[in-house]
Amino acid sequence: MPTERRGRSGSQAGGGDLWKPDLTRWGRPHYLAIADALSDDIQTGRLMPGMRLPTQRALAQVLNLNFTTVSRGYVEAHRRGLVEGRVGQGTFVIDPMATARLGGLARPQRVEPVDFTMNLPPEPDAPSLRTRMRTSFAELSGDLASLLRYQGFGGTDEDKEAALRWLGGRGIVAARERLLICPGAHSALFSILGQVAQAGDTICAERITYPGIRTLAAHRGLRLVGLPMDRHGIDPDAFAAACTRAAPKAIYLNPLLQNPTTATLSRARRQAIIAVARRYAVTIIEDDAYAHICPTPPPSFAELAPEITYYVAGVAKCLGAGLRLAFLVAPSARASLPLGDALRAATVMASPISTALTTRWIMDGTAHAIVDSVRQESAARQRIAASLLPPESYNADPHAFHVWITLPAGWTRSAFASQGRSAGLGVVGSDPFCVAGTPPEAVRLCLGGPATRQQITNGLEMLAHALEGSPALASTYI
């Protein structure tokens, strides 16, 4: 009977939208008590299948609880198979009998934590595209024996033709003698650093930059000088000042959808940097990791100043993080020769399987379809972020799959990362990105990978609530 059910759970009368459990009777941590109360009210019929539950924020206000606690309660209920989230609609009660009919048993659903730490593109989920990708991969098995043998360094003629087609989509026209196919961007960058500088020399980079270049420079024994930035990237005047002060051999730039700040250097600023580089005889190293993600990018440094630019275009950020392949264009055929020798000595060759798959995907249009999918999904996830994160709290680009959050007063990057971990959310503080000075109180959030839009929404809701409140209110320590 309804009165009897109220006595058992202490819940408020009404539909799911008005659900208000009395958590005192459960004697457990509040987030577990929320899930227990949900389970009880579903079993007793108080909450019916298909009912929409209160929003996490609304229930937190009614129960006078921290938003994170309520979010964890909903996650626990989802893990038990009690509720489901629907993008743009809310959280709904699941019919346990329907679950049983589908799976034989009403098994709890496994809900993985949302990992915002690894910067990888959203994974294509359209069935037709996934089938196309699998078919391409399967077709390689027809020539599997040759793909398991040593290959000539730098790729076959067909591989180079595919690479030049890929680079052409970025506006780069290069002779084959300047092109090298490498096993990932890191190997390319490491070899370039060895060609343009010696231990003890100075290399410039953005003050907040891709952590990989810090590691590679350290292994080469190079001094990395961080240059001041604004929301458009590095300041050309600061670059000129560094040239007179430190005499750098090269400047490393991630100029398009920069990791981590999402800044993109405009054409005008690129030309100003080129003018400084030419004046002081500084080599440009362009890491164009997101080359094909932005549909209308500014021209690359390799297009504007090919004679002083080493250009690296990895496919990991465009096609898939596990596809370790990069196309390297040297400033001249002469410069490519020692670079090729260094790469061959360190890596022997790029993986024939990765190279063959990438070549096939470029030539048959699959790569273009994957990029389109990444663009569309990245844009959708950026819209979710824009709808949830406090305005002016973050830097983003509609085409990027990461955001850079500047934390409000009171928050430290370590405290915010700890708060995220307590809720099963991984974020990266600014420390590994900072070349010089005190790291800013900021974090990077990555929106790609295997997470669904609903998981992204749930995670961002929790982090947005934390940003709007005091760190003291979010403390998870006792």
Pick 318 or 155 by higher pLDDT.
318
Q: Please check the confidence at residue 255 and state whether its pLDDT lies above 50.
A: yes
Pick 295 or 28 by higher pLDDT.
295
Task: Tell me the residue length of the chain.
Answer: 478
Q: Please check the confidence at residue 140 and state whether its pLDDT lies above 90.
A: no
Question: What pLDDT band is residue 66 in, cutting at 50, 70 and 90?
Answer: confident
Intra-chain end-to-end CA distance of the chain, in Å: 41
What pTM value is reported for the model?
A: 0.80
The CA distance from 392 to 413, in Å, is: 17
The CA distance from 380 to 203, in Å, is: 37
Helices 127-139, 352-364: inter-axial angle, 10-degree rounding: 130
Calculate mean pLDDT across residues 70-76.
82
Residue 93's DSSP bridge partners are: 83
pLDDT in tens, 380-417: 999 999 988 888 889 999 999 999 999 998 899 999 99
Which of 30-44, 188-202, 372-386 has the lowest average pLDDT? 30-44
Residue 223, Cα to own-chain centre: how many angstroms? 28
Q: Please check the confidence at residue 85 and state whether its pLDDT lies above 90.
A: no
The CA distance from 218 to 266, in Å, is: 29
Question: What pLDDT band is residue 113 in, cutting at 50, 70 and 90?
Answer: low
Supply the mean pLDDT for the chain: 87
> Which tokens hold the place of 293?
């993600």
CB atoms under 10 Å from CB of 238, counted, come to 16
C-alpha distances in Å from residue 75, one per residue of 31, 85, 108, 110, 114: 9, 10, 12, 10, 11
Sign (positive/negative) of CA torsion 472, 475, 477, 478? positive
pLDDT in tens, 412-435: 999 999 888 877 889 999 999 999
Calculate mean pLDDT across residues 243-260.
97
pLDDT of residue 104: 38
Q: Please check the confidence at residue 5 and state whether its pLDDT lies above 50.
A: no
pLDDT in tens, 299-356: 999 999 999 999 999 999 999 999 999 999 999 999 999 999 999 888 888 999 999 9
Q: Please check the confidence at residue 42 and state whether its pLDDT lies above 90.
A: no
Residue 92's DSSP bridge partners are: 52, 84
Question: What pLDDT band is residue 13 in, cutting at 50, 70 and 90?
Answer: very low
- Per residue, the 3-state secondary structure of the chain, as one string, reads CHHHHHHHHCCCCCCHHHCCCCHHHCCCCHHHHHHHHHHHHHHCCCCCCCCECCCHHHHHHHHCCCHHHHHHHHHHHHHCCCEEEECCCEEEECCHHHHHHHHCCCCCCCCCCEECCCCCCECCCCHHHHHHHHHHHHHHHHHHHHHCCCCCCCCCHHHHHHHHHHHHCCCCCCCHHHEEEECCHHHHHHHHHHHHCCCCCEEEEECECCHHHHHHHHHHCCEEEEECEECCEECHHHHHHHHHHHCCCEEEECCCCCCCCCCCCCHHHHHHHHHHHHHCCCEEEEECCCCCCCCCCCCCHHHHCHHHEEEEEECHHHHCCCCCCEEEECCCHHHHHHHHHHHHHHHCCCCHHHHHHHHHHHHHCHHHHHHHHHHHHHHHHHHHHHHHCCCCCEECCCCCCEEEEECCCCCCHHHHHHHHHHCCEECEECHHHECCCCCCCEEEEECCECCCHHHHHHHHHHHHHHHHCCCCCCCCCC
Which of 79-93, 168-182, 200-214, 376-390 has the lowest average pLDDT? 79-93
The CA distance from 234 to 290, in Å, is: 18
pLDDT of residue 168: 95
Q: What are phi and psi of 326, to 5 degrees?
A: -145, 150
The CA distance from 255 to 371, in Å, is: 19
pLDDT of residue 329: 97
> Which tokens hold the place of 179?
């092109």
Pick 32 or 130 by higher pLDDT.
130
Calculate mean pLDDT across residues 166-193.
94
Calculate mean pLDDT across residues 359-378.
96
Pick 111 or 206 by higher pLDDT.
206
User: CB–CB of 239/273 below 8 Å?
Assistant: yes
Calculate mean pLDDT across residues 249-268.
97
pLDDT of residue 154: 74
The CA distance from 151 to 160, in Å, is: 14
Question: What pLDDT band is residue 454 in, cutting at 50, 70 and 90?
Answer: confident
Calculate mean pLDDT across residues 263-283.
97
pLDDT of residue 60: 87
Q: Please check the confidence at residue 294 and state whether its pLDDT lies above 80.
A: yes
Strands 229-230 and 233-234, by their bridges, are antiparallel
Question: What pLDDT band is residue 106 in, cutting at 50, 70 and 90?
Answer: very low
The CA distance from 178 to 175, in Å, is: 6
